[in-house]
Amino acid sequence: MARRTPQVSDPIKGRAWVFGDEINTDTMAPGLYFKEPLAVMAQHCLEAVDPEFAGSVQPGDVVVGGRNFGVGSAREQAPMALCELGVGAVVARSFSRIFYRNAINFGLPLLTLPPDAEIQPGDLLAVDPVAGTIDNTTRECSYRTEPIPPHLMEMISAGGLLPWLKERYSGN
């Protein structure tokens, strides 16, 4: 699946895939597939909670979580699997700290979902990480949240920490 790296000025547009609280990194990157290529592991991403997800998610789609999204181990493969599938962004009530950092390191934008936000599976969303807005075009409502700081958005736009460092320190 084609990975689209969000640019600083681009809103991320896609369908909502809604999950609950405490979505564990083990369900995003099942240990059974650790010796397989990332593409194989990604095909099993979140299958324990939604067997249709990995086979149906489209580039730009948005994962919507509840509280403590990404809880569990410090598996960097969890955000890598979401990126491999083309997920454009993750919005959730709150994130595990290590998952948040790993996701940013791999170029996956994360925004905190306001408490009053109501998003249903399949809703069409436009997420602007720079402005800190989440527009639910299906329900014709918008939510404001803390934007991703410009220095982190630069890193996300470069494709994550390592591509950003390479770009920044390549001597060009």
- Per-residue confidence (pLDDT) for residue 3, from 0 to 100: 52
In a domain, 1, yes or no: no
In a domain, 59, yes or no: yes
- Per-residue confidence (pLDDT) for residue 20, from 0 to 100: 95
CATH of the domain at 82: 3.20.19.10
In a domain, 103, yes or no: yes
- Per-residue confidence (pLDDT) for residue 74, from 0 to 100: 84
- Per-residue confidence (pLDDT) for residue 168, from 0 to 100: 86
pLDDT tens digits along 25-59: 999 999 999 999 999 999 999 999 999 999 999 99
- Per-residue confidence (pLDDT) for residue 155, from 0 to 100: 92
- Which segment of 6-20, 45-59, 94-108, 152-166 scores lowest on mean pLDDT? 6-20
What pTM was computed for the model?
0.91
- Per-residue confidence (pLDDT) for residue 2, from 0 to 100: 46
pLDDT higher than threshold 90 for residue 69: yes
In a domain, 94, yes or no: yes
In a domain, 141, yes or no: yes
- Per-residue confidence (pLDDT) for residue 1, from 0 to 100: 47
In a domain, 126, yes or no: yes
DSSP the chain: ----PPPTTPPEEEEEEE--S--BHHHHS-GGGTTS-HHHHHTTTTTTT-TTHHHH--TT-EEEE-TTBTBSS--THHHHHHHHTT--EEEES-B-HHHHHHHHHTT--EEEPPTT----TT-EEEEETTTTEEEETTTTEEEE-PPPPHHHHHHHHTTSHHHHHHHHTS--
Domain total of the chain: 1
- Per-residue confidence (pLDDT) for residue 105, from 0 to 100: 94
In a domain, 7, yes or no: no
Domain that holds residue 95: 12-168
pLDDT tens digits along 85-140: 999 999 999 999 999 999 999 999 999 999 999 999 999 999 999 999 999 999 99
- Per-residue confidence (pLDDT) for residue 56, from 0 to 100: 98
In a domain, 2, yes or no: no
